């Protein structure tokens, strides 16, 4: 097994991978689900069902408008009981379709494998499937895979690093579906004409690397196929799974400030995303379910589950022996980059890969004190930024300073906050700073119209 390079900076938080060896459990027992009409970056969908309609699994219920949007499908069969505004787990007020499940999970007649013959039909199929990056911020996959004119995709980089503490959903994906992961990678390589794929796995998960390597060996022995796909163990270091870090670790190429992976010849997909692609092309079932890890001190039975998208978070938590009303803190995502929910009454969305529940003691927020200029945050920043200067700029709402110190390059990994002995709320402050810069840029753009 090869070990490639390593990015500078980063931190080594306790892994807490308590659920590595817990097979994924499918949960179907949900009386009512709430499906938000916005689970992607891009304009929200328009509901095309009305209260009282009967729906089936895989039926289109939210029509996408514009190239950045993806459609939304029903994850249960049952009756539409309401369409109303709710605050989604992403913290935004969005239109939500409420469906009373009949518990039957009857498949809609429209669910048939798509006809895919070339790049165009492949990307159209991915859009129709409602697919967004399953390990990221909800970026529509068909847009991510559109290689701009003049650029060449030399590498398909597969993110199986799963560097966030607690989360093991991608590890389970590798352990349970290695065949469909390799199949999905080959499909993307075929339709995007990418000659080489590199899979990155942190070296604390050798079993994931092993099962993927075994699949490649099987392909060669049984079908005489030898695609240019390789599996690489990478140093266990957070944020190894961040796009820019992963590309650097696997190819040695640095994505310059303000540029995209494709500018250095790379297309990056999460391991669960490629597995979905393989499954969708065979079955035609759109993205209606999600595998996620449930863990944290507030749960009696940490586990990995597969649930219908739109399942309510308190219902999902109760399956793991937790009580949302008594939790000190609920985080959607990992403990480093996840978002703490203001209120648990929200539902599972497409790119939700974990729900962490902490008891009141663990949820206590430390009091921040004065910066002692120790420089640890600068050392830890994998983007080579100066978190201290960004923090000052953000607290003073000084857009010029924030731009001078490249605030928009911050990937919000939280390494600076993690190492700070003064417990400064650095990432929160820098996130606000990014907002000020974006706002100022938008205003400047408006002014020049
Ligand atoms: S400044 Fe941004 S990129 Fe750098 S460590 Fe902090 S959160 Fe991460
Ligand atoms: S780690 Fe904290 S105390 Fe040290 S320089 Fe950065 S902000 Fe200041």
- 111-127 pLDDT, tens digit per residue, is 999 999 999 999 999 99
Q: Give the burial class of 173: count Cβ atoms within 10 A of its Cβ; 0-12 exposed, 13-18 middle, 19 or more buried.
A: buried
pLDDT bucket at 448, cuts 50 / 70 / 90: low
The residues, ordered by sequence, that sit 6+ positions from 96 with a Cβ below 8 Å of its Cβ are 34, 35, 36, 37, 83, 84, 85, 86, 88, 347
Q: What is the mean pLDDT of residues 15-21?
A: 94
Q: Candidates 7, 381, 435: which one to mutate for ligand 1, based on the most atoms within 8 Å of Cβ?
A: 381
Q: What is the mean pLDDT of residues 238-242?
A: 95
- Domains parsed from the chain with CATH numbers: 119-283 (3.40.50.11540), 376-447 (no CATH)
Which whole-number Å values give the CA distances from 328 to 262, 317, 322, in the listed order? 41, 13, 11
The residues, ordered by sequence, that sit 6+ positions from 31 with a Cβ below 8 Å of its Cβ are 100, 101
* Sign of the torsion formed by the C-alpha atoms of 78, 82, 85 and 89: negative
Rounded-to-integer distance, Cα 264 and Cα 155, Å = 9
- For residue 162, pLDDT over 60 is answered with yes
Which whole-number Å values give the CA distances from 376 to 9, 116, 163, 263, in the listed order? 10, 51, 21, 31
Q: What is the mean pLDDT of residues 96-108?
A: 98
Q: What is the mean pLDDT of residues 360-367?
A: 88
pLDDT at 91: 76
Ligand 1 neighbourhood includes 419 CB (under 6 angstroms): no
Strand partners, 86: 94
Ligand 1 neighbourhood includes 402 CB (under 6 angstroms): no
**The tokens 């500078």 sit on which residue?**
8
For the chain, give me the number of helices (H) and strands (E)? Answer: 13, 17
pTM of the model: 0.94
* Element containing residue 289 per DSSP (H, E): strand 289-295
- For residue 90, pLDDT over 80 is answered with no
- 291-336 pLDDT, tens digit per residue, is 999 999 999 999 999 999 999 999 999 999 999 999 999 999 999 9
- For residue 1, pLDDT over 70 is answered with no
Q: Candidates 418, 420, 421, 429: which one to mutate for ligand 2, based on the most atoms within 8 Å of Cβ?
A: 420
- Residue 416: how many CB atoms within 10 A of its CB? 30
pLDDT bucket at 5, cuts 50 / 70 / 90: low
Rounded-to-integer distance, Cα 3 and Cα 185, Å = 21
pLDDT at 365: 85
- For residue 199, pLDDT over 90 is answered with yes
- 169-181 pLDDT, tens digit per residue, is 999 999 999 999 9
Ligand 2 neighbourhood includes 352 CB (under 6 angstroms): no
Q: What is the mean pLDDT of residues 270-296?
A: 98
- Six-digit token string for 142: 């068909």
- 212-237 pLDDT, tens digit per residue, is 999 999 999 999 999 999 999 999 99
pLDDT at 3: 44
Mean pLDDT of the chain: 94
Question: Quick one: what percent of the chain has pLDDT higher than 70?
Answer: 98
Residue nearest to atom 5 of ligand 1 (CA): 381
Which of 242, 41, 250 minimizes the C-alpha distance to 156? 250
pLDDT at 2: 39
């Amino acid at each position: 097994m090869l070990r490639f390079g390593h990015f500078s900076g980063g931190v080594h938080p306790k892994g807490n991978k308590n659920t590595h060896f817990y097979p994924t459990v499918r949960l179907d027992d949900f009386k009512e689900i709430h499906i938000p009409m916005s689970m992607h970056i891009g304009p929200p969908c328009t509901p095309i069902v009305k209260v009282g309609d009967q729906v089936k699994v895989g039926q289109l219920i939210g029509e996408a408008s514009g190239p950045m949007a993806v459609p939304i499908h029903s994850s249960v069969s049952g009756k539409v009981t309401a369409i109303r505004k709710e605050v989604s787990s992403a913290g935004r007020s969005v239109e939500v379709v409420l469906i009373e499940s009949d518990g039957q999970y009857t498949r809609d007649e429209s669910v048939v494998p798509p006809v895919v013959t070339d790049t165009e039909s492949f990307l159209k199929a991915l859009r129709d499937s409602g697919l967004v990056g399953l390990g990221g911020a909800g970026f529509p996959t068909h847009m991510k895979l559109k290689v701009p004119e003049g650029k060449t995709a030399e590498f398909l980089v597969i993110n199986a690093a799963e560097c966030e503490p607690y989360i093991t959903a991608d590890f389970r994906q590798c352990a349970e579906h290695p065949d469909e992961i390799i199949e999905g990678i080959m499909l993307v390589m075929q339709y995007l004409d990418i000659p080489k794929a590199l899979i990155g796995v942190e070296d604390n998960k050798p079993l994931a690397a092993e099962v993927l390597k075994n699949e490649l060996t099987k392909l060669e022995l049984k079908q005489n196929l030898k695609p240019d796909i390789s599996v690489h163990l990478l140093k266990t270091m957070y944020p190894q799974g961040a796009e820019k870090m992963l590309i650097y670790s696997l190819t040695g190429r640095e994505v310059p400030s303000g540029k995209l992976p494709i500018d250095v010849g790379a297309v990056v997909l999460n391991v669960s995303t490629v597995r979905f692609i393989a499954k969708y092309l065979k079955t035609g079932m759109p993205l209606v379910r999600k595998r996620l890890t449930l863990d944290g001190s507030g749960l009696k039975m940490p586990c990995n589950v597969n649930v219908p998208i739109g399942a309510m978070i308190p219902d999902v938590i109760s399956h793991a022996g937790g009580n949302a009303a008594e939790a000190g803190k609920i985080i959607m995502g990992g403990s480093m980059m996840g978002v703490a929910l203001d209120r648990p009454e929200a539902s599972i969305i497409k790119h939700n890969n974990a729900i962490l529940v902490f008891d009141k003691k663990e949820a206590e927020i430390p009091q921040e004190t004065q910066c002692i200029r120790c420089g640890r945050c600068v050392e830890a920043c994998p983007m080579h930024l100066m978190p201290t200067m960004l923090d000052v700029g953000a607290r003073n709402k000084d857009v010029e300073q924030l731009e001078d110190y490249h605030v928009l390059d911050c990937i919000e990994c939280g390494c600076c906050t993690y190492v700070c002995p003064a417990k400064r709320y650095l990432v929160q402050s820098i996130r606000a700073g990014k907002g000020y810069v974006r706002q100022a840029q938008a205003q400047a753009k408006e002014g020049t119209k």
